[in-house]
Amino acid sequence: MLFSVYPRALALFYRSVLPLTGLLSAIIVGADRVSAGLLGTPWPPPLSAGLVLLKLSTFPLAAYLLRRMRPHQYGFYRNLHLAPWQLWAFVAVLDTGLFGGLMTMLHLLFA
């Protein structure tokens, strides 16, 4: 029973943080687009380790901001036996994967 609950709980948490992580992804893509224009390099670039690291570095900021905005958000998930680090580990893996997929798709379509 428990293991059928976890995917739904993780998906619920991901939906709740998606607006912020999506915004941070958009800022990364926008900044990359501007810098490519200034440097005259081709855009969209292929997915690189630097881009992935940049995306990963946004999660501590997202966790901090959400802790300030919704300090009680973990209570429900703790009642499902999920610790905050487990929730964020899932979000980091899924969101980075989606970001990587989006950047690769943009590169294949427009580069």
Question: Based on CB atoms, which residue is closest to other proteins, 27 or 81?
Answer: 81
In angstroms, what is the minimal distance from the CB of 62 to other proteins?
A: 17
Question: Based on CB atoms, which residue is closest to other proteins, 29 or 87?
Answer: 87
Question: Based on CB atoms, which residue is closest to other proteins, 7 or 30?
Answer: 7
Q: Which residues contact 13 (CB under 8 A, 6 or more apart)?
A: 77, 82, 87, 90, 91
In angstroms, what is the minimal distance from the CB of 83 to other proteins?
A: 7
In angstroms, what is the minimal distance from the CB of 99 to other proteins?
A: 24
Question: Based on CB atoms, which residue is closest to other proteins, 20 or 36?
Answer: 20
Please compute, for residue 70, the number of CA atoms within 13 A of its CA located in the half-sphere on the CB side.
Answer: 12
Taking the C-alpha atoms of 96, 9, 23 and 88 in order, what is their torsion angle to the nearest 10 degrees?
-50
Neighbours of 40 (CB within 10 A): 7
Binding residues for other proteins, rule: CB under 8 A, are 1-3, 5-6, 8-9, 12, 15-16, 71-76, 78-81, 83, 86
Q: Do 24 and 62 form a contact (C-beta atoms < 8 A)? A: yes
